[in-house]
A and B are shown apart, each in its own frame.
Chain A
Amino acid sequence: MKALKRALKALLITVLAYLVQVCVMKYLAFQGIMGSVVFAALAIIIVSCGKKYAFCASCLIGMMMESMLSNVPALYVIAYPVITMLCAQYFADMSDRQLERRRMMAESRKVRISEGRGKEHWWHRFMMRYRETDLPPIVRIPACAGLMDVLLNIVLAAYMYLIGEDIGWIHLVRLAASALYTMALSLVLMVPVRYVLGMYRRRRAQEGGELL
């Protein structure tokens, strides 16, 4: 029942994100650049709910976009699930087995460092292969949303280039601005959406020694 409730919440968030994207974001365009609420919601679902939820949500959004706003045949319905799953591979929570493996690798690396056979750099803490745990969600969600937006914009820019348009600096600037806008949106939406999904109640219960 809880899983069903959670799935319904994720579905509601997905549909709302789509509706906001197609109905509201035109009023919130900044210098003609619109952020992607859809990618922000997908990033939150990737980090909070996992890959299966993210796949379902991306398929739904892709189908809705393809049915209602189709410019290029089959572009959205392919691009959204593919981009979402690509980013989910990197930004979703690691499994317990993966976490344990990372922990042991980190311990062995510490041993090697103590024996003088390696060196730890500051950037290692931001790279997944050197980390024992996942990055905090406040980092992963905007990064995931921005990366997804950049990937989709790259696909669209490639399409524009293939149909004969010249790709210049203005496209890159717009791409960067769109990604930044999407990251900001994901930061703003992260707290209420994760609250609806029950993430903060779960953490509180866990810290209190009791699960809901």
Chain B
Amino acid sequence: MARNQDRQFSESENLNARDMGAQPPEAEERLPAWAQKIQTEAEEEAPASFDAPEEEKPEERPEAPRPSLEEEEETNAPIAEESSVFSSREEEADQAWAREAQRVEGGQFRRRTAAPDAGASPKNSKKAAKSRKNGKKKDGKNRKKKNASREEERRSFVKMMAIVVICGTLFIMVALMIVSNFVSSPLLALPRRLVNAVVTPVQSTFSTITDSVVTYLRTLKIRGNLEYEYEQLLIQLDDMANDTARMQELIHENAALRDILQEQEGNRDMNGLFAQVIGTEGGNYFSTLTLNVGSSDGVADYMAVVDNGGLVGVTYNTTERSCNVRCIINSDCTVAGLVQSSRDQGSVKGTLGTNGEPMCRMYYLPDNSLPRPGDVVVTSGVGLEFPKGIPIGYIRESTRGMEDNKSYVVLEPVVDFQHLEYVTVYRYRPSYAENAQARSSSSQSIALEPLVTARPIPSFEMEGLSDFMYSATAAPDAQEETPAPTSAPGITPAPTATPDPNATPVPDNLEYHVADRTGATATPSPRPTFTPTPSPEPTADAGAMTVEDDE
């Protein structure tokens, strides 16, 4: 069954081989093309002489009554006898058929034509004569068909020639293109240029259209996925916003830590300790902090706490693991300070409990001291064992206020107490010797030199406050006469104190070094701009000037 289906399907494919108008052979009666051609010609010339099936009859005479087999035999026999051309052609066809049948396994082709009228009897001579008349009538039609067949042959010839010409042309062009790769000649390159000239605009147009279509389809695809991508982008945006916030936080923390580290590096001798603010009391009257370092870390009471290059406060209530910081803006916190420019000393006290402002006031300035706005007030190192030079704040106003008969100036603290996260606790404790040395190093040497006179006058030189040296200067002319003083033999020099080998060497400069800031503060608090009052310029009016007359 499957084979029959395949056969039928394949027969449909063989249509082109049989060409248009050719009749499909039956599966059991397949004839070769040359046999079909011969049979067709024979049928066209003598259609009545074949026992053709009904569906293979020509369409021109479907209304003609089908004669019986006997009538056909009677009719065909005389026609075959009369038409010498037909009989000769049929004989040729039969002979060719027989030869082919013998060649292909003993003649399995089955000729569909009827046998010659060998068995026609004389009885039917009347019918034969009648049919002969009918044959004469149909002779005209047969001639027309013959002409049509010749026309068909001519068409086939033209078709074949066209195929030959096309195939030949293509073959020649292919050959020329092959040869043109090896021999350079304009004539040989002609096919290539011709194909190029024809194909290039077509291909360019097609490519443009294709690209446009592809772009449009991509746009559609993008639009289709727009909502999905939008949601994805929103999620990405949220993630990136979180990452950015986290990164900003890390950047801020990194900057703060770097500032603290830099500050500690710059003040290595003050034994700074990094601490984190773990608690804040930011009330209206007090401002205290809680740090995560305590006595186990070497922290004790009354140590300086610094942040951002400014004094935060003083430690107190130190425990083993934590300590509190009393900020300098507290009313009960008093720190000794000095104006950096004029070196005027005073006492700095907070005002949070006084008027609720996170400011400081500096009391006990000399009466003749007039600090300028913007001057820096630093720790003076007097009183509390603070490092000297830690910035406390800036002079805000040069005018003095009065409180309980005490005059003061207002300071604005350096530290932003609202954004304290990390601080440095300086565990610096100066020894008395250091204090004494610091004082001696900071004191000025006084040298008194006499005026140059004719007689020698003894001169006095005073070094510091405790060291007083006396030396007499001889007159220039009496210098040779004066013997050099000799030391008394009985006087034993006073012993000097042996330095403690375990003691930390005292640095030359004990002052606090303000490190460069990297701007770690998130929101810099605005600072008032202090503009000094301009001094009046001298009036230079030429008209107001008088000229003295010499005469």
Contacts and interface: CB of A to CB of B under 8 A. Distances in A.
B96 interface: no
B168 to A, nearest CB: 11
B148 interface: no
B222 interface: no
Contacts of A101: 104
A49 B45 CA distance: 32
Interface stretch (A60-68, A152-160, A172-180, A184-192): A60-68
Contacts of A22: 203, 207
B31 A2 contact: no
Interface in B20-35: 20-21, 23-25, 30-33
Contact of A135 (B6, B181, B200): B6
Interface stretch (B7-15, B71-79, B252-260, B510-518): B7-15
Contacts of A81: 174
A104 interface: yes
Contact of A68 (B7, B167, B191, B203): B203
A166 B507 CA distance: 77
B16 A96 contact: no
A188 B306 CA distance: 82
B17 A137 contact: no
Given A101-B104, A136-B9, A23 B207 contact: yes
B176 to A, nearest CB: 10
A97 interface: yes
A125 B196 CA distance: 46
A132 B206 contact: no
B416 to A, nearest CB: 62
A149 B171 CA distance: 22
A127 to B, nearest CB: 14
Given A3-B20, A49-B16, A136-B6, A78 B199 contact: no
B464 to A, nearest CB: 91
Contacts of B182: 73-74
B220 interface: no
A67 B181 contact: no
A78 B178 contact: yes
A199 B12 contact: yes
Nearest to B177: A77
A104 to B, nearest CB: 5
B369 to A, nearest CB: 86
Nearest to A24: B210
B111 interface: no
Nearest to A73: B181
B170 A55 contact: yes
A59 B11 CA distance: 28
Interface string B331-358: 0000000000000000000000000000
A25 B339 CA distance: 84
B32 A206 contact: no
Given A3-B20, A27-B214, A74-B177, A134 B192 contact: no
A101 B32 CA distance: 10
Count chain A CB atoms within 10 A of each CB in B21, B170, B207 and give the residue with the most.
B170
B431 interface: no
Given A67-B196, A96-B30, A55 B167 contact: yes
28 contacts: A27-B214, A48-B13, A48-B16, A52-B167, A56-B170, A59-B173, A62-B174, A67-B192, A77-B177, A77-B178, A93-B13, A93-B17, A96-B25, A97-B33, A99-B30, A100-B104, A104-B104, A132-B3, A132-B7, A133-B11, A134-B13, A135-B6, A199-B13, A202-B12, A206-B11, A206-B15, A211-B20, A211-B21
Interface of A: 2-3, 15, 19, 22-24, 27, 47-50, 52, 55-56, 59-60, 62-64, 66-68, 73-74, 77-78, 81, 93-97, 99-101, 103-104, 107-108, 125, 132-137, 199, 202-203, 206, 209, 211
